[in-house]
Structure 1
């Protein structure tokens, strides 16, 4: 870890974009949040990525503007079916957040990570209260592996008009995760059923991807991920393929357990991220010449080997279409100090502790080359470890995230910039577009080009702040020692 410089976290603040209470306003990922047109100047549009922070009961009303709660996602009387993927599940909390009109009627499938006898018996006992709930515990061979994915498939039916929405998040299905901690969530648009002609894809005919039976890259990647669960999700895979996912701009980055070789190695973990970075990220001149920073934030750190961190993780995270022309990014690891934990919501209710996992390449003042929201912590189990001269990738856990970058929002008449947003400046404007009135004349050659700004509300402030000389990193060992000091050496911390 000597290559990283640990960073202090800052108080998370929510996105100030519109909330998701009104689902009818969010039918396309390129929803324009605001258009700032000047009569003779450049045109700017702000684009919604679908990424939000979760609202926290410990945060101020201002900080919770635009944030999402579990009830915003589930409390709808037109829900027709729910599929939940998670690690830790409080089934009672889940069901109470579903609209009472459908709570006991619609099928609810829960794919969970309760591997051990006691916790598995507990959720099975809970499920007896809900006949409409089906539990699935995926088989994981490695004892250090987990079902760590946190996602939802939500099926809607409003007066015969059917749609589906996918949610990828960082929160376990329990109250503290959704109502107290800093978490992130990505929501796709509401995706309608495929047109009649497209339904032929279900019979093996080609979709919109040449040589493929899938209707869109997002559908292909989602089905690939669901395939990893085998026969238990056969009905869900069939249902998913009935919908048109072509409006989804995010790219799924998943991990599934196993020894992956040949073509399958490129589907998962670090190798999947490498392929996406090389295909979609072109670093601009400021980033390549002046340098950039890769900020990694997670809630847990596995047992890292220096070789893996340097050779595998850092190398893969540094990739881009033109990475050979760019300086390697500095790696900054965002992790709380002992003082921040002691003053957190769980301890003193003064700060909102992060459970979110993000990996972001930033440069300049507030520019973002790419952003990944994921369930994956910084570990070999989550991301995979290259073996056998890089011909094999071994992954222990299920993980899922969503990746965004400027090129995913481009078209022939739009220049795209992805910028960090704040509560104070929820819709930032690129510095290059700030012009004086004297310079804003009819001879501006860029008037016909729209700049699409993609705001991303990061769960920390830029620039990141390094640990001070007296700061201590909050580690499991520190927690263990603190409990022993308080309760004696025989005490086992929870």
Structure 2
């Protein structure tokens, strides 16, 4: 294997080496032990809950009888009173019988697969299946890597066999990969193109490598980077195009193509299948799919432009990928793509946080909503941004103020230069509008299953955090939600954002983002020249569920599927984030 095909990414990845050779049996043993420990803890928690219910029921019976009013006692009342006394003296057997029945049900959980009616996510939002999730405890909002190449990713719930033979062509993008994960694709002989990040100034790595690593069906490409920067930025989107005979599956998420991305690190994804467009001429004459936003047109334009920009010089994407994006019908899409494309752009509303502003403004400009009006104090209905990510840059209150304007459209972007010039601006008024969910050092070292050796996706430079200007007050803990026990101890690699009122309740006007953008200026773009230009050093891709009527239920479904608690507690005084010492 030459140096070109060996290149994966700068992040340390030792999971693959650990699972190879003589250690594979030990690795499987560790997984089994972890699952058994989880199972035991889960059963103990269930038993404690049932015991508490029994005790509460017993206490309630006593309280109810003690509160009964006294009545005159006659012969019949005396008899009735005696019955009451008897029942109050010894109500325990009946309660214990009920408790024993429930306890028996809990003890059977180890051997009985949970039965439920299959219900696919309306939001089309999913998280990846981690090794720490016992198979019998997995849910329909979890998908594995290989599931995505099946005609029906949920075949297991219908007792069907996986259908992968219908796949005709595959295009994937990543920030680093491991061939072991891709081996099922490579051995299938399906046409496969992979776009991967590469070091900026490594001239030994070609832009196009055909028959990569000896596989005739595999072409590896390295997209263009920012030549004006010594670093060149990161090629960081996670886009998959999987072509079936009758539809195109578009997948957008947070996970790369390392083994750990689909077994150890918690990631998320959105996907939708788009049928062949049989009436292309008729479709071109249709009006926009919404009076506020052309969902169909914008989706197609954004996706096509991004794919074209990924191609090395002189390469036609249709010829290379064997996929033509014009062949498909996008009329049913209800999300909005938001991309960051490398370069300096005078149309500040086309990419990154500039486009986010354009989206939110389109859906809120005609709404009489006081939460979108600029004010100087945090009110009951002030918009709050909860951002969860795993990589942080050199952020400060200027970045927060700009980001808040773009995520709420509370004022024109051009007015931000006045805020920047106002040196008396109170940083507390900005910071209290943000909740940043990021793992603590204690969580990574003590609470995660695999420990700091597998925490390579979590990146925060210590020298950034120690700066006086760094907004430390916005940090909240990454912790597992209450609705699914087996998320406990997961190492995050998700990138999500939720915009709500101060009460954190999910409503129609809430905003949900998922994708590859971390909470950095490199990902979302830097405004330049008095906000007349935006500079993107990274290539990124994500989706937004905008403020829309009757959208609260779908957004709540997404929140319920998160592998972390949205209403996360704030860092206590002694807590510190998980940081690293490294050079820029």
TM-score (norm 1): 0.68
Aligned counterparts of 1:344 and 1:403: Cα–Cα separation in 2 = 30
SS in 2 for 1:216: helix
Q: Does the aligned pair in 2 maintain the 1:206–1:214 contact within 8 Å?
A: no
Q: Which has the higher strand share?
A: 1
Aligned length: 381
SS at match of 2:241: strand
| Structure 1 residues 62 and 317, CA gap change in structure 2 (3 angstroms) | farther
Larger Cα-atom Rg: 2
Within 2, Cα distance between the matches of 1:248 and 1:281? 20
Going from structure 1 to structure 2, the CA distance change for 1:124 and 1:226 (only over 3 Å counts) comes to closer
Cα distance in structure 2, aligned partners of 1:130 and 1:390: 47
Would you say 1:470 and 2:574 are equivalent positions? yes
Query: Which of 324, 329, 339 matches 2:442?
Result: 339
Instruction: Report the equivalent of 1:132.
Output: 217
Q: Quick one: distance in 1 between partners of 2:204 and 2:397? A: 34
How far the C-alpha of 1:200 sits from its partner, in A, is: 7.7
Residue 388 of structure 2 is aligned to residue 297 of structure 1: yes
Residue 274 of structure 2 corresponds to which residue in structure 1?
191
The CA distance in 2 between the partners of 1:246 and 1:33, in whole Å, is: 26
Residues 174 and 281 (structure 1 numbering): CA distance in 2 closer, same or farther, change over 3 Å? Answer: farther
Quote the offset at 1:234 in angstroms.
Answer: 3.0
Aligned: 1:170 with 2:254:
yes
Matched, 1:366 2:505: yes
CA deviation map 1:252-310 (0-9, x unaligned): 00001001013xx3210110111011113588969665334211111111122443x13
Report the equivalent of 1:241: 326
Look up the SS of the partner of 2:181 in the other structure. Answer: helix
- Give the match for residue 403 of structure 2: 313
* Structure-to-structure mapping, 1:146-161, within 5 angstroms: 146-157=234-245
Instruction: Evaluate the alpha carbon distance shift between residue 129 and residue 79 of structure 1 in structure 2; reply closer, same or farther with a 3 A threshold.
Output: same
Are positions 1:57 and 2:192 aligned together?
Answer: no
CA contact (8 A) 2:405 2:411 kept: no
Counterpart CA distance in 2 for 1:416 and 1:111 is 34
The alignment partner of 1:475 has SS state of coil
TM-score (norm 2): 0.58
- What residue is the counterpart of 2:233 in the other structure? 145
Instruction: Note the alpha carbon deviations across 1:36-94, whole angstroms, 9 max, x for none.
Output: xxxxxxxxxx9711111111112344763120111100251110000001111223312
The CA distance in 1 between the partners of 2:186 and 2:224, in whole Å, is 31
| Equivalent-residue separation in structure 1 for 2:325 and 2:531 (angstroms) | 34
* TM-aligned CA distance change 1:382 to 1:169, over 3 Å: same
Structure 1 CA distance, aligned partners of 2:250 and 2:186?
A: 18
Secondary structure of 2:361's aligned partner: helix
Are 1:220 and 2:355 counterparts? Answer: no
Instruction: Specify which of 179, 194, 215 is matched with residue 110 of structure 1.
Output: 194
* 1:68 counterpart residue number: 143
State the Cα distance separating 1:215 from its structure 2 match. Answer: 6.2
Change (3 A) 1:65 1:119: farther
Once residues 406 and 295 of structure 2 are traced to their aligned partners in structure 1, the CA distance between those partners, rounded to angstroms, is 28
> Residues 71, 321 of structure 1: CA spacing in aligned structure 2 closer, same or farther, 3 A cutoff?
farther
The answer to whether the 8 Å contact 2:341/2:536 transfers is: yes
1:376 alignment counterpart: 517
Q: Per-residue deviation at 1:377?
A: 0.9
Structure 2 distance, partners of 1:65, 1:120, is 42
- CA shift, 1:115, in A, is 2.5
CA distance in 1, matches of 2:296, 2:518: 31
Cα distance change on mapping 1:90 and 1:61 into 2, 3 Å: same
Q: Are 1:85 and 1:112, in contact at CA under 8 Å, matched by a contact in 2?
A: yes
Distance 1:315 1:33, change over 3 A: farther
User: What is the CA-CA distance between 1:386 and the residue it aligns to?
Assistant: 0.6
Between the aligned partners of 1:222 and 1:379, the Cα distance in structure 2 is 23
> 1:335 deviation in Å?
0.5
Aligned to 1:43: none
Residues 351-396 of structure 1: CA deviation (Å, up to 9, x unaligned)? 1011100111133353150100010111111111110111110100
The one of the two structures with greater contact order (alpha-carbon pairs below 8 A, sep at least 6) is 1
Q: Which residue of 2 aligns with 1:390?
A: 531
- Tell me how far 1:177 sits from its aligned partner: 1.0
Q: Relative to structure 1, is the Cα distance of residues 215 and 458 closer, same or farther in structure 2, using a 3 angstrom cutoff?
A: closer
| Cα gap change, 1:85 to 1:318, in 2 (>3 Å) | same
Cα pair distance change 1:332/1:126, threshold 3 Å? farther
Offset of residue 461 of structure 1 = 1.7
Alignment check: 8 A CA contact 1:208 1:216 kept: no
Aligned CA-pair RMSD? 3.7
Q: In the alignment, does 2:263 pair up with 1:179?
A: yes
* Structure number with higher helix proportion: 2
Distance 2:219 2:552 in 1: 43
Instruction: Give the match for residue 344 of structure 2.
Output: 259
How far is 1:321 from its partner? Answer: 9.8
1:116-144: CA deviation from partner (whole Å, max 9, x where unpaired) = 649958x9699222111111101212314
Gaps of 5+ in 2: 1-37, 39-116, 151-163, 373-379, 416-428, 455-487
Contact 1:271/1:316 (<8 A) preserved: yes
Structure 1 residues 404, 63: closer, same or farther in 2, change over 3 A?
farther
Deviation at 1:237, TM superposition (A): 9.2
Give the match's secondary structure for 1:191. strand
